[in-house]
Each structure stands twice: as C-alpha cells, then as structure tokens.
Chain A
Amino acid sequence: MRRVVLALGGTVAGLVMLLSFRSHMASTASAGVTAGSGGTGTSPGSGSAAGSGSSAAPGAGAASAPVSKGSGTGTAVTGDAIATPYGPTQVQVTLNAGKIVKVTVLQHTDDGINSQMIDGHALPLLNNETLTAQSAKIDAVSGASYTSAGYIKSLQSALDKASA
C-alpha cells in the first residue's frame, strides 16, 4: 500500500470526509502524522498528489490525537485513520484562532478504481468551495444520528477535539 500525502486546498466539504466512515483499520490507527508542512493548495480539480510523502510518527498511540503547534499556521488536529470505500483515509483539520483554516487528507491509497473515485469525485467537491479564515467557520455538524462508536469517526468528533 503506497501512502501519499495529498495537500488539498482545504474546504468545508472536506471536513465531512470523516462522516459515515465505518470500521477502523488497526494497522493504521496509530500512524500519527506530523502536521505543519505541506498543505499548499493544489489547483481545483487537479487531484494530484502534491505533498511530501507520509511522515508517520509510529510512536503516536491511537489513544491520543496528534496535535502539533505550527508557528503561524495554527493547530493541526489529526483524526484517526479510518477505512473507507476508497482505502484508509485520515483527515487533518488545521485551526487558527478557533477557525478552521485548512483541511488535509493525510492518507490515501492509490491502488485502483476506488481511488479514482475519490480523485474524480471527492476532490472536485473539496476544491469547490475555497476556504477562507472567515468562511471556514463551522461550529457543528447536523446529520443522521451516530452511535457512540460512530461518533469517533465523525466531523463533530474532530471539531470537539480541536483546540486552537
């Protein structure tokens, strides 16, 4: 499984990638990824991998959300790696002064048609709405009910974890 770091122009839509994803990939759950670099936006719809490859921090346990303070770039909060129909995916939300300023997909397999689906469909959505410091602010998410287990993969969970 090849890991790449996708540096997306963060969008509101991207936040919800965490929603409704299901079972957990134990093998990737502890791969915290250091934030703060990358994240330069790609042009809308390009969908190309632009980052610097994964920079996994194996020591980061699943029981703690990797939180890194990048000077001037805000606080990055990384969600758990989760299995999706498109392969293991991990989303990072960067906050600055309480506002979401960046959403980054940190993990992404590129091994077949399913990956094409996320490239072809999700990424244009991600780039559809450009995030600015003001427009980025989402306080909460309304959606179909989740269980206690489902919550941990939800955007609401990421928002709750976030602390700038």
Chain B
Amino acid sequence: MDGTRPGEPAGSAGPGDAAAAAGVTGISVTNPDLPGPGATSPGGTRIGRPAGRLRHAEHVMGTVFSFDVPASAAPVLPEVLSWLHWVDVTFSTYSGGSDVSRFGRGELTLAECAPELAEVIAECAVIEEQSDGYFTAWPGGRFDPSGLVKGWSIERASNMLSAAAKTGPSGTGPSGTGPSGTGTSGTGHSVNGAGDMQCTGEPERGRPWRIGVAHPLHPSALAVIVAGRDFAVATSGTAERGPHIVNPHTGLPATELASVTVVGPRISRADAYATAAFAMGGAAREWAESLDGYEVFAVAPDGASWQTSGFAAYTVPA
C-alpha cells in the first residue's frame, strides 16, 4: 500500500463530498434477480449486474474498496464492510485515539490492543526481513504499519467472503468455482482496495479474472493485462499522489521506478512487496527474482519495463 492510509482524514476526499461530486451516491442500478437491498451501507453504493453478480464500492480508509462478488454474497457483505470500518478506526495513524496511535506513543501495551495489531506487526516483521528493511513498520522511527494494513485487510475481507461461501446455503467451496452459480456467472469474488486486489475463483464460468495494470506514464493505456484464478495483484506507483514512497534507508522519495506490479497468491504480501520494490528502485529487479511464488513487473520513468522470469505466465493478450 503506497498511497492511502487507514484513518486518513476525509477532507475534500470524504465519502459524502466525493460521492456526491462523482455521482456515486444515487446510482443504484437494481437487478430484480438480486437479493433485497440489505448490502447497502452509508459508505457505499450497491450496483447490480446481471447473471447473479453484484458490485459494491465502499468508501473506507481514505479510499474506496470495490467488491465484485456473486449475488449470493449479499448477506455477508455488510459484515465485511463493518469490519473494514473497524480496521479503519483501529489502525488509523491520523486518529490519536486509535490503538495504533496509542501503542505508538507507549500508552498501550501490545496485549492491551486489538489482537489483530499483533498479527499485523508480526507480518510486517517478516516482510521487513525479506526486503532488507525496504519495507518497514517504523518509517522514520515512528510506528506506522499502514504499509501493510490495507493489503492485509483486503485479504481478510476476501477470506470472510470465501468462508461465507463455503458454509452458506449456496456454498461453493473456497475456490468459488462450484456448480451453484447462476447461469454462466462465476462464483468467485474480487476485493479491490485502491488498485490492489485479491481475486478468487472465476468471475464467469470457465474464464479467469482479467486485471488491467494501469500504465504509470500514459493515462490512456494499460501497461499489461494479467489473468488468473485465486491470485492477487498489487501495484505501487506515483500516479495520483506523486512521489510519496520513501526509501527508508535514505529518507528520500523513491524515484527510480514509475510503478511496480506484483502478482502472487496473497495480496498482503504482494502489496508489501510492491511497496518494498518501489522503494528499492533499480535494485528491485534482482530481489524480485528471489521472491518465492510472486512475480514482478516494473515500469521505469523512461518507459522501459522489466519483469521477472515467471511473470509471463500471468500475462494475456489484450
């Protein structure tokens, strides 16, 4: 996660203002085939799709989480959304009263915080070691696990959807490719948090997810399209927010790459690896080859690109 942070002040980017300006609020294309309107929430809008699919956009953590799920997931969606808002509050580095802020100031012990914080810190430590410190929960010496929290919460939200699909009345198993889909629609889902996503199963029977990777230099183009089932895609870059990923070893903004995309099984790792690789710059290429189970595609500021040896397995013709 490189741009947005849990608990980021709303300001002009607040859900209300942004939604109104964007026309997000008020758009509700209903589909008679879908379950009742139980999955709407103040932060988002539910939009129906045909053939048993449903999309939902939720404003949370200073950004938007986009859900593309089977209609059968509608009953569990509110719980997932509530959980994301809880993460927002608990892990906010902007709210002085959050567990993360109080822990960072030494006012709470780890045992006094939500147990999820210990889980996040442990995961941060693993990635910090793997990345030679280019990923850290202590940027500039201040405790800030934000670099992991979004990817971790995307993954947890996806897991909640998978668990519900497995145990629910229309359970289809964790891969989401079971036989109970409606028509040709798939039973997989994707959770896309500000451009980083976890995908399960298939969006449509017999077809993998197709994810466009935005070209960091040409807003009118995709750099590449990747496809897969049960995989994660994360991209770190500067497109909207300008240089803001700092190399923790120099304290300076990373500028050697325009964007880094990581594909692999888990979004919590893929997202953190993308952030670390972006901070590494040119040195990321060799490091990326060493990652087990994850493949990397990067674009340099001059438009040149490189990819790890296994990345081609994910690419598809446009």
Contact = CB atoms under 8 A, between A and B. Distances in A.
A140 B197 contact: yes
B95 interface: no
Given A63-B25, A98-B53, A164-B49, A144 B207 contact: no
B64 to A, nearest CB: 4
Nearest to B59: A148
Interface of A: 11-21, 24, 29, 61-65, 67, 80, 84, 97-98, 118, 121-122, 125-126, 129, 135, 137-157, 159-164
A137 B210 contact: yes
B26 A16 contact: no
Given A15-B222, A159-B55, 20 more contacts: A13-B220, A13-B222, A122-B221, A135-B318, A137-B204, A139-B199, A139-B209, A140-B192, A140-B212, A143-B237, A144-B214, A144-B237, A145-B1, A146-B3, A147-B3, A147-B13, A150-B240, A152-B19, A154-B195, A164-B50
Most chain B CB within a 10 A radius of its CB, from A12, A139, A140: A139
Nearest to B227: A139
Nearest to B217: A20
B212 A64 contact: no
B240 A140 contact: no
A9 to B, nearest CB: 13
Given A24-B21, A64-B27, A142-B235, A125 B209 contact: no
A115 to B, nearest CB: 13
Interface residues of B, number: 76
Interface of B: 1-4, 8, 10, 12-15, 18-27, 29, 31, 47-51, 53, 55-57, 59, 62-64, 66, 68, 150, 190, 192, 194-197, 199, 203-204, 207, 209-216, 218-222, 225-226, 233-241, 259, 261, 317-318
